[in-house]
Amino acid sequence: MRWQRWNRRAKLWLWIITLIGVVAALPLGASRMAMEGTADTVEYVFDYRDIVEVAELQPRPEDFVEEKLERLKAAGITTMAVYESSLKELRQAGRLTYYNEEDAALLQGTVPSGEVNHTYVVFDGPEEEEKLGPVIREAYDRMGVPYRDWSFEGRGGLVLEESSTAAALKTLDFDPMTLQAVADAGFHILPRFSDRVVPYDAERTAAQLERLKAYGVTRVLFDGEKAKGASDQGASHSLDSFGELLKQYDLGLTAIENLKKPQQGINKLAYLTDYNVVRVYSLSPEDSIEMTTAGIADRFELAAKDRNIRMFFLNTMNKGNQDRGVLENSIDKLADAMGGEAGVIAHVEEAGFPAGIAQPFDYEKASWEKPVRGIVALGAIAIITLLVAAFIPAITIPVFLIGLVGSAGLYVLNSSLMEQGLALGAAVSAPTLALIWVMNRIYSRTVGERRMVGGEEWSVGTTGGAEKRTAWVFPNVSIGRRLGTAIAWFVAATLISWTAIPLVFGLLNNITYNLVLEQFRGVSVLHLAPLFLVAVYVVLYESSDGRGVIGRAIKLLREPVRVAWIVIAVVIGAVGFYYLSRTGNAGEVSGIEMLVRGWLESTFGVRPRFKEFMLGHPPLLLGLFLAIRYRAAWVLIIVGALGQLTMVSTFTHIHTPLYISIVRTLLGLGAGIIIGGILIAAWLVVEGVYRKWLAPTIRKYSA
């Protein structure tokens, strides 16, 4: 008995510790909001390689490139992305031509030799030979492939002693003529490094960065799955070397949005450059052709506002139109869409994001944040313990102590994993505890009050005469009292759920989450666990049959499996699969919901979450209103857990500005209460019609 008393008293202290953690997290939220307001300039980048590839199939490629650069510059595009070159790209740009052994022989009017298979390079002119010859020689010296000088009809060239297929795969340095042409056209340059040049050479890389810095380059973007230096990090600490060079030349990084996984090595480089990182969203070539100006504008505005994107990357491609018999591309369309008073750039500027050169967020971690986050972690351990105690009260104190020791050990091994684990635990615990509290309030109002379905209007007639059946219908309470109680319980449950919000953003208050270099894990668990736990609590804990939890579980397992149960399980499984398919950033959304989202975005500026104001809050409010009278309404309360957990889930999207998440949650709550009120009114109308007209008719004909 003494142990039970200690555990009961511990719950009060655990709530106090939880609230202390909540209060401690608030200055961390304020610090994050201040950081999120330090960078709002948006940069628009066009893929220069795409322009060259499109121009290759035009009648006058050089004139085409020059014309399109002028159009894009006039439209407001500020930057061109330039890649490390290759023989193929240099040929597309008109810098040189290369031939295989057979074609070179035909060109010279000789018979090809069967003994060798070389590549013959001819420069387009003296300038190309002067500027690109050293680039090719440097690459082949580095790779140890023999070459020799060669000329054809007065034009200089090289013979590369390997096949043309192999030669085309070699990665060369940036084309100096392209860099100069882009700079002369008035564009900022975004160089795209790859990790295909191995082994990593620190001196060569330093020389590259020095040349790029002379063109005014401020950050780099990586091409492929790896950041430069990632392949040789284990052998030569190449990432460390490259990171030091980036910092030395004051060059930042660009992280690509919506990759399945971050480019290998970029997290290390981000750390070494003090998180001088800007996130970029890429508009695919297909979307650039198919999307309307309004669609692009809405997508870019949403990305800048809701996901802290500060760079937009535009692509194009050649697309054959068989009906018209022409090659099409989207360069002119994009220029028209981006520029002008009604263009995308103007639209995004009106939303508060001026065009220019993207800047990183001003990130500086204060010394007081670390101990404060420790207090927040303590609050998370406390609320997780409270959830365990709701199911197994006797182990409250041991669970808390184990949580303290385990979290401390995990912090030493992997602090990020510890923070994410506690954030997930708190996010699951608060909405579950909120619904358990609600169920306890309902249970205290209705237990022992089960009665025969009362009143003549509720009688069930049979051919043998009137017969009443037992059902979970509780004594009637006035509509006003039921409504007031339902709203009070809804508000209390929401406040309990909200305790998780500061704990989540306090634990995940790190620039790595804002830049999506790390992501919150356990989204599926968060969206399923509270629903499951509340359902378990209702089935096994909310009963007065005297069996106890274990007895009720055994009785449930001994029940024969019925066809109806199988059908219900299949339906629940299908609903759950759809629910998970539309959860997270890659979730699928119906067309109707997209229309609703668009209307909400244009009306309120911030779109509340559909799962909150349509699928979560209204069923919960209706369920609370009905549960005072009908036990079957408990199903609605379980469904209503969706709204509570989704409010918390909103704040696990750390890349979304904190104020946006707050406004989104409040809008969803307000809209959900309104819709829930409408559902309650509709129920009262339907119930009144049934009592007055349908019930007497049913009794008449059943008699």
- What pLDDT was estimated at residue 532? 87
Predicted confidence at residue 568, as pLDDT, reads 58
Q: What angle do CA 376, 378, 382 make, to 5 degrees?
A: 115
Residue by residue, DSSP assigns 88-131 as HHHHHTTSEEEE-HHHHHHHHTSPPPSS---EEEEESSHHHHHH
Q: Domain check: are 136 and 278 in the same one?
A: no
CATH number for position 346 = 3.20.20.370
Cα-trace Rg, the chain: 33
E strands, 164-302, where? 188-193, 219-222, 252-256, 277-283
- Residue 608's pLDDT is 77
Same domain, 453 and 326: no
Instruction: Pick the closest to residue 541 from 645, 437, 397 (CA basis).
Output: 437
Which contiguous run of DSSP H or E holds residue 46? strand 43-47
Phi, psi of 437 (to 5 degrees): -60, -45
Strand partners, 451: 471
What distance in Å separates the CA atoms of residue 599 and residue 602, rounded to the nearest whole number? 5
**Residue 335 corresponds to which tokens in the numbers above?**
């220029």
Report the distance separating Cα 649 and Cα 691, nearest Å. Answer: 41
Residue 340 burial class via C-beta count within 10 angstroms: exposed 0-12, middle 13-18, buried 19 and up = middle
Calpha distance 523→660 (Å, rounded)? 20
Within the chain, which residues score under 50 in pLDDT? 448-470, 584-589
Backbone angles phi, psi at 206, to 5 degrees: -60, -40
Residue 161: domain span: 88-172
Q: What angle do CA 688, 694, 696 make, to 5 degrees?
A: 105
Report how far residue 98's alpha carbon sits from residue 95's, in angstroms, rounded to the nearest whole number: 10
- Is residue 533 within 8 Å of 432, Cβ to Cβ? yes
Pairing type for strands 277-283 and 252-256 reads parallel
Nearest to 644 by CA among 568, 541, 531: 531
Does residue 26 sit in the same domain as residue 10?
yes
Q: Determine the residue type at 216.
A: G
Residue with token string 């009443």: 468
Q: Are 426 and 40 in contact (CB under 8 A)?
A: no
Q: Do 652 and 467 touch, CB atoms closer than 8 A?
A: no
157 in the same domain as 53: no
- Cα 329 from Cα 290, distance rounded (Å): 11
Calpha distance 508→518 (Å, rounded): 10
Token code pair at residue 129:
């030979």
Contact present, 173 and 211 (Cβ < 8 Å)? no
What are the C-alpha distances in Å from 128 to residues 99, 108, 122, 131, 145?
A: 17, 22, 10, 5, 22
* CA–CA dist 154, 122 (Å, integer): 10
Residue 376 CA to residue 373 CA, distance in Å, equals 5
Q: Domain boundary residue among 360, 393, 417?
A: 360
Which tokens is 270 given?
Answer: 């981000």
Give the C-alpha separation, 109 to 96, whole Å.
Answer: 20
| Dist CA 237 CA 272 (whole Å) | 13
358, 42 contact by CB (below 8 A): yes
pLDDT of amino acid 539: 76
- Which residue, 311, 331, 360, sits at the end of a domain? 360
- DSSP conformational letter for 253: E
Q: How far apart are CA 86 and CA 84, in angstroms?
A: 7
pLDDT of 635: 81
Question: In this structure, are 502 and 582 located in the same domain?
Answer: yes
Is there a single domain that holds both residue 44 and residue 19? no
Residue 110: the pLDDT is: 85
CA end-to-end distance (rounded Å), the chain: 57
Nearest CA among 279, 135, 157 for reference residue 207: 135
Tell how strand 326-328 and strand 319-321 pair up: antiparallel
Helix, strand or coil for residue 194? coil
Residues 535 and 605 in one domain: yes
**Closest C-alpha among 439, 431, 419 to residue 499:** 431
**Rounded to an integer, what distance in angstroms lies between the CA atom of residue 258 and that of residue 307?**
11
> Count of CB atoms within 10 A of residue 427's CB?
31
350 and 375 fall within a common domain: no
CA 171 to the chain's CA centroid: 33
Task: Name residue 281's beta-bridge partners.
Answer: 312
Instruction: Tell me which residue of 283, 253, 310, 275 sits closest to 513, measured CA to CA.
Output: 275
**Domain tally for the chain?**
3
Instruction: Quote the DSSP letter at residue 475.
Output: P
49 and 65 in contact (C-beta within 8 Å)? no
Tokens of 339: 């520029």
Whether residues 587 and 642 share a domain: the answer is yes
461 beta partners: 466
626's CB contacts (< 8 A; 6+ apart) are: 632, 633, 636, 683
Give the separation between CA 490 and CA 644, rounded to whole angstroms.
10
Q: Are 431 and 411 in contact (CB under 8 A)?
A: no
**What residues have CB less than 8 Å from 255, skipping those under 6 apart?**
262, 263, 266, 270, 277, 278, 279, 280, 515, 516, 517
CB atoms within 10 A of CB 609: 23
Query: In terms of residues, how long is the chain?
Result: 703
Query: 350 and 468 share a domain?
Result: no
Residues 409 and 529 both lie in one domain: yes
Cα–Cα dist 79/190, whole Å: 7
Residue with tokens 């219908």: 473
List of residues 6+ apart from 384 with CB closer than 8 A: 403, 422, 425, 426, 429
Identify the domain boundary among 105, 140, 172.
172
Residue 109 phi, psi dihedral angles, 5° rounding = 70, 30
Q: Which two tokens stand for residue 549?
A: 């939890």
One domain for residues 14 and 77? no
